[in-house]
Amino acid sequence: MQKAPIVIIGSGPAGLMAAQRLAEAGKEVHIYEQNKAAARKFLVAGHGGFNLTHSEPIAEFLCKYDKQELQPVITSFDNEQTVVWLRELGIETYVGSSGKIFPIKSIKPIQVLQAWLDRLKQLGVQIHYAHKFLDFVDSKVILDNNGTLVDKAFSRLILALGGGSWSKTGSDAKWIPILAKKGIVINPLAAANSGYNTSADYAELEGQVLKNIEVRFGDIRKKGEIVFTNYGIEGSPIYYMNRFTRPHSFPLTIHIDLKPNSSEESITQLLKTSPKTSEVLKNKLKFNKTILALLKKLNKESYTNPNLLANAIKAYPIQVKSYRPIDEVISTAGGVRFEDINQALALAKYPNVYCIGEMLDWEAPTGGYLLQACFSMGNYCAEQILKLKT
């Protein structure tokens, strides 16, 4: 009797990587995807700059993840190995000024995906589109194919169904009640890599950018740039702070250092050199119109007192009251708890069923860390399956 194939649900980067590694080892692999095309969120992520991983040393790289359990997963297939893998697909990369790794500029996201899908086809991986995951029972997975119920036998089942953001791409978290009914504890999904809704109105600054600043929350600091929106603030340093503000109750206050390379004392002395504050801010501190407009939102005493103004420049307070809605953020925190999976990423209650990618409860900032974790989990999961004798 022929052995049942390995079935993967979801054709995002975690699922595709698992499929490639398993197929390279000679395993029969079938992927079932509810959309009519593969990896839609992967492509959408490329619209704002397609950084596939980051070039920093692995020790620093690992610190970007909030879960210790991911460390052996990431190190099993790290950022350097990702670059090698991409080259094997015919995708050359370069390191940007921020350390992020991109495909060379002539290569579009769809070309990366197509090269990957071509490789999978060469390996014999079969992708079945328009198949929506409904359940699994024993060694069969139940799917809906355009209204027709389909059950497929599996030897191993890998669930790579994504988180809950950008539901239009298929990352709709409809798997949660299915697993919850099976007694699998799932931590509530929460917005991650999200902008902040602010208490103050910055609508008049909408679209304007603060560059070369440092965002602080307690002892946590992150340099970069932020942009004002009609609801508050966005940007990489803001997304980075999500993980650290999450345990606290809103509203809370973050601070922005508008002149991170100057001390408060030196700024105070400059402000004291002239009674015309605006001239010092513009001509000596070289502030642009966005910072000038932001500082003018201070009360009169803070703006006219050199000591208070210098303090505000080094620690401009912004009260934030909430994250953005889950469906519009880049990723989600929450998901299947690591306590409910074993070291191989298989469900403790169902050892032939694995969960990878954003289904698991972890988070990381943007900058290549999200995709790298998905690549790594797909590779790691495949390795664990290949170690088994059955």
The token pair that represents 115 in the structure block: 């090269």
Closest to 178 in 3D by CA, of 52, 9, 383, 31: 9
Cα–Cα distance for residue pair 229/281, rounded to 1 Å: 24
pTM of the model: 0.95
Q: What is the pLDDT of residue 390?
A: 62
Give CA separation, 366 vs 67, 72, 172, 331, in Å: 16, 20, 20, 9
Residue whose pair of structure tokens reads 């902040």 in the numeric block? 196
Give the pLDDT band (50/70/90) at residue 49: confident
Task: Give the tens place of pLDDT for each residue, 69-125.
Answer: 999 999 999 999 999 999 999 999 999 999 999 999 999 999 999 999 999 999 999
User: What is the Cα 256 distance to its own chain's centre?
Assistant: 23
Q: Where are the domains of the chain?
A: 6-191+329-387, 196-323
What is the dihedral sign for C-alpha 88, 89, 94, 98? negative
Task: Give the tens place of pLDDT for each residue, 161-195.
Answer: 999 999 999 999 999 999 999 999 999 999 999 99
Give the homologous superfamily in CATH for domain 6-191+329-387. Answer: FAD/NAD(P)-binding domain (3.50.50.60)
Task: Give the tens place of pLDDT for each residue, 225-239.
Answer: 999 999 999 999 999
* Distance spanning both ends of the chain, measured CA to CA: 14
Share of the chain above pLDDT 70, in %: 99
